[in-house]
Structure formats: C-alpha cells, structure tokens
C-alpha cells in the first residue's frame, strides 16, 4: 500500500478520532517513550488487574499521525488481554515490520496489520513502533 492509502484507509480515522487518547484515572502502570529521530513523546497508562489482564489503557503525548494511530490500534487490540498476550503481539508487530511475520500471525494483529507496508519507509518505522516498544517496556517483568 502507498502511504497515502495507509493514511486514508486507517491512519486518519484513528488519528482524528482516537478511542483511547487521554488521561486515565488510577492507572496501575505508566510508561513513557520517545522517538529519538523527532523528539515525539508518548505516555501509556495501563490498568492491569490481579489476573494480569489489561482492563483499560490510554495514551497521551504529541506525535505524528502514524505514531498516534498505531498506538490507538494497539490499545484496541490488547485491552481485555493478558500482559503476556500483549507482549506476544508486540513481538509479532516488530517482526511484521521486519518482514518476518507469517500470514497467520499478521491476522492476529487485526487492524494493525495495515501498517505492514510502513516497513518500506524507513523514516516512518520508528513512528509506527513507538507505542509498541513503549508497551513492551511497560509489561516487561509482569
């Protein structure tokens, strides 16, 4: 997919009408991430229950449409799942960007699969993975 199509088909909607953007009350875990190439910042707030299930999650920060939309889609996917499952999906996402994920794995990413072709745009890869890397740090050790 050409980048204009990626924007039109998926990125714009999540960027302009995000479902999980904003502050959360009583998060159990908070993690900030920075994209060193542009200085964009993103903060994830997760509420994780005793069973390790992500009950709710939100994000704040400034960034390009790709990083914001990628993060919004990621939260759509992981809310309701365990942190272990979130970690596994983050691993698939990272491998998708490297062109190493199988078609079955890609399906598991649901909407996020649409960012597959970002891999061909090295300048934007860091934007697409910012939320995912930040989440990996957040759930690390859980």
Binding residues for another protein, rule: CB under 8 A, are 2-4, 7-8, 11-13, 15-16, 37-40, 62-66, 121, 123-124, 127
Q: Which helix (H) or strand (E) holds 97?
A: helix 83-97
Instruction: Answer for the pair 44, 137: CB distance below 8 angstroms, yes or no.
Output: no
Burial class (CB in 10 A: 0-12, 13-18, 19+), 91: middle
C-beta closer to another protein: residue 3 or 106: 3
Residues 95 and 102: their CA atoms lie apart, in Å, by 9
Return the number of the residue (9 or 100) whose C-beta is nearest another protein: 9
- Please, what is the minimum distance in Å from the beta carbon of residue 120 to another protein? 12
Nearest CA to 69 among 26, 124, 23?
A: 124
Provide the minimum distance between the beta carbon of 135 and another protein in the complex, in angstroms, as a whole number: 21
Q: Which two three-digit tokens encode residue 45? A: 């707030």
The least CB distance from residue 15 to another protein, in Å, is: 7
CB of 76 to another protein, least distance (A): 18
Taking the least distance from each CB to another protein, the nearer of 27 and 61 is 61
* Closer residue to another protein, CB minimum distance, 64 or 106: 64
């Amino acid at each position: 997919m050409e980048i204009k199509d990626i924007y039109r088909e998926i990125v714009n909607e999540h960027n302009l009408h995000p479902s999980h953007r904003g502050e959360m009350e009583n998060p159990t875990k908070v993690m900030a991430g920075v994209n060193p190439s542009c200085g964009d910042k993103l903060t994830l707030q997760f509420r994780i229950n005793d069973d390790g299930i992500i009950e709710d999650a939100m994000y704040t920060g400034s960034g390009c449409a790709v990083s914001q939309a990628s993060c919004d889609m990621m939260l759509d996917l992981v809310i309701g799942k365990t942190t272990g499952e979130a970690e596994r999906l983050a691993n698939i996402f990272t491998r998708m960007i490297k062109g190493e994920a199988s078609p079955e794995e890609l399906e598991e990413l649901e909407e996020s699969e649409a960012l597959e072709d970002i891999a061909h745009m090295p300048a934007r890869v860091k934007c697409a993975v910012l939320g995912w890397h930040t989440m990996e740090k957040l759930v690390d050790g859980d």
